[in-house]
Amino acid sequence: MASFLWRKKSINDLMMSSSETEKGLKRTLSSTNLVALGIGAIIGAGLFVRTAAAAAQNAGPSVTLGFIVAAIGCGLAGLCYAELSSSIPISGSAYTYSYATMGEFIAWIIGWDLILEYAVGAATVGIAWSEYLNNLLVNVLHWQAIPYQWCHSPFEMSTTGIHGMVNLPAFIIVALLSLLLIKGTQESSLVNGIIVVAKVAIVIMIIVLGWGFINVENHTPYIPPSSTYVDSQNISHNFGGFWGVIGAAGVVFFAFIGFDAVSTAAQEAKNPSKDMPIGILGSLVICTILYILFAHVLTGIGTVEDFRTNGKEASVAFVIHKYMIGYDWLAQLVTIAILAGFSSVILVMLLGQSRVFYSMSLDGLLPKALGEIHPKYKTPYKANLFILVIVGLFAAFIPGDIVGDMTSIGTLFAFMLVCAGVIILRKTNPELPRKFKTPFVPFVPILGILVCFLMILGLGWTNWLRLGVWLLIGLVIYFTYSKNNSKLNK
């Protein structure tokens, strides 16, 4: 195969480019900021929506075991991310690490793949934010809902025959958060920190207050016997048993997406060699504990049938309203928490995508303008504006269910390559200073690859097909533009 596919970026060049010059990104983030950034990205749609979905379709009360499997996969990948981000403290996350360890071709595939996680993910969450805004207006504030045509895409139609025109709330939230990111990473981090405190407080409240309403019968048997569940869209799911738990892990994995976004801000950390491992692993540990406790309480209060029928996307608020008599105010707070959670997830995803585009632009794989830094705010403002347009248009005009689980499968694929990158870098650059070392290499990275691959298997062949089509489009762009404009080519 052509040698240009495997050309690598020098570690020395990467380290030199990370020095803070007047053109470089501003180092403003502490380890506390990074932990909050990680929690901001992690706790959101996954916790409040995917928990009930996994319980209904895959595992019942043993969804908690699915969270543990997903957390193990993320933890193993997180150890690898921590070593790479402290050794190579450059923006770009898995893309940058792949460029230094496996070559340009793999790096391009990962960079293209990360668009699924960040840009498409941000648009999808933006659409969900719009739906829950109406929920807040009607059920909490008792105001009038936004007219259907102004909060749905042209491809959607209401039960009364009204056609959607544009999803304005989704576009507006994406635009506002993009402009906030242009203003500065520190300012964005402050807003995110406030949101994190609010939504974590509500999650803890649900765990503490809901514990007394747990019905032991809902946890019996904890792992349901193996069977097949066909949902309302005639899609079959493995329910119960081993594959039910693995299927649940693949579903709730979406709830962990975002901790790796911390690594995209490595070039803006004050002391990346110390702060990055704390930010990545700290946010992951905190969220895993909250997730397991939350899932245990939720499946103890409500039944699987609740999650399959009346609850669905609003299952958390539904079971509180149905079973926790006298706590309707908590159900309303959950709606507010979901909106806040969605907002911080969108913020961190937009941050991650802009930093990946920034790094790919500096390497010549994307147009040069995307790598330009704002003279005053020291942020990649043109990358943010470009993402505002792309993500904003997607959120405004495309239905939210188009992408499905593509975000999860794309991220799992990236995790597998990051784990492989640690093994390769240990062999090719053994002398590289490593302030944090992944323990038990190559055992831990190999185990990370296997656990992530197992979760991919649980997502089904349709998502493999969608990922293949997406990568095919990326290959066309690489061979027609990127390989010729690559700085390594010159």
For the residues 117-121, what does the mean pLDDT come to? 79
CATH number for the domain spanning 292: value is 1.20.1740.10
For the residues 333-358, what does the mean pLDDT come to? 82
Q: Which pLDDT belongs to residue 400?
A: 63
Q: What's the angle, vertex CA 133, arms to CA 191 and CA 149, rounded to 5?
A: 130
Which residues are 239's β-sheet partners? 227
* pLDDT of 401 over the 60 cut: no
Q: What is the pLDDT of residues 254-292, one digit of tens each?
A: 778 767 667 666 666 777 767 777 888 888 888 899 999
User: Is residue 472 included in any domain, yes or no?
Assistant: yes
Q: Which residues contact 310 (CB under 8 A, 6 or more apart)?
A: 318, 322
Band of the pLDDT at 402, cuts 50, 70, 90?
low
Lowest mean pLDDT among 263-272, 341-350, 406-415: 263-272
* Residue-averaged pLDDT of the chain: 82
User: Is residue 5 included in any domain, yes or no?
Assistant: no
- Percent with pLDDT over 90 in the chain: 20
Tokens of 6: 């495997």
For the residues 46-65, what does the mean pLDDT come to? 86
User: Is residue 245 included in any domain, yes or no?
Assistant: yes
Contact 386, 370 (CB under 8 A): yes
User: Is residue 267 included in any domain, yes or no?
Assistant: yes
Q: Which pLDDT belongs to residue 175?
A: 94
Nearest to 79 by CA among 317, 318, 263, 244: 263
* pLDDT of 327 over the 80 cut: yes
For the residues 298-322, what does the mean pLDDT come to? 81
Please give the C-alpha separations between residue 7 and each of 18, 88, 365, in angstroms, as whole numbers. 20, 18, 13
Contact 318, 311 (CB under 8 A): yes
For residue 380, is the peptide bond before it cis, meaning its omega torsion is within 30 degrees of 0? no
* pLDDT of 127 over the 90 cut: no
Is the pLDDT higher at 45 or at 141? 141
- CA dist., res. 149 & res. 153, Å (int): 8
Q: Which pLDDT belongs to residue 232?
A: 63
- CA dist., res. 259 & res. 165, Å (int): 35
- CA dist., res. 427 & res. 429, Å (int): 6
Q: Which helix (H) or strand (E) holds 236?
A: strand 236-239
For the residues 431-441, what does the mean pLDDT come to? 82
Q: Which pLDDT belongs to residue 20?
A: 45
What's the predicted TM-score (pTM) here? 0.77
Q: What is the pLDDT of residues 92-102, one digit of tens each?
A: 567 877 787 78
Q: Which helix (H) or strand (E) holds 390?
A: helix 381-397
Q: Which pLDDT belongs to residue 182?
A: 87
* pLDDT of 393 over the 80 cut: yes
Q: What's the angle, vertex CA 41, arms to CA 36 and CA 46, rounded to 5?
A: 130
Half-sphere exposure of 407 (CA within 13 A, CB side): 25
User: Is residue 112 included in any domain, yes or no?
Assistant: yes
Q: Which pLDDT belongs to residue 394?
A: 86
Band of the pLDDT at 33, cuts 50, 70, 90?
confident
| Bridging pattern class, strands 236-239 and 227-230 | antiparallel
Q: How many domains does the chain have?
A: 1
Q: Which pLDDT belongs to residue 18?
A: 54
SS3 of 430, please? coil
For the residues 410-423, what does the mean pLDDT come to? 86
> Which range of residues forms the domain containing residue 332?
26-489
Is the pLDDT higher at 92 or at 33? 33
Band of the pLDDT at 17, cuts 50, 70, 90?
low
Q: What is the pLDDT of residues 156-202, one digit of tens each?
A: 777 788 888 999 999 999 999 999 888 876 666 677 677 778 878 88
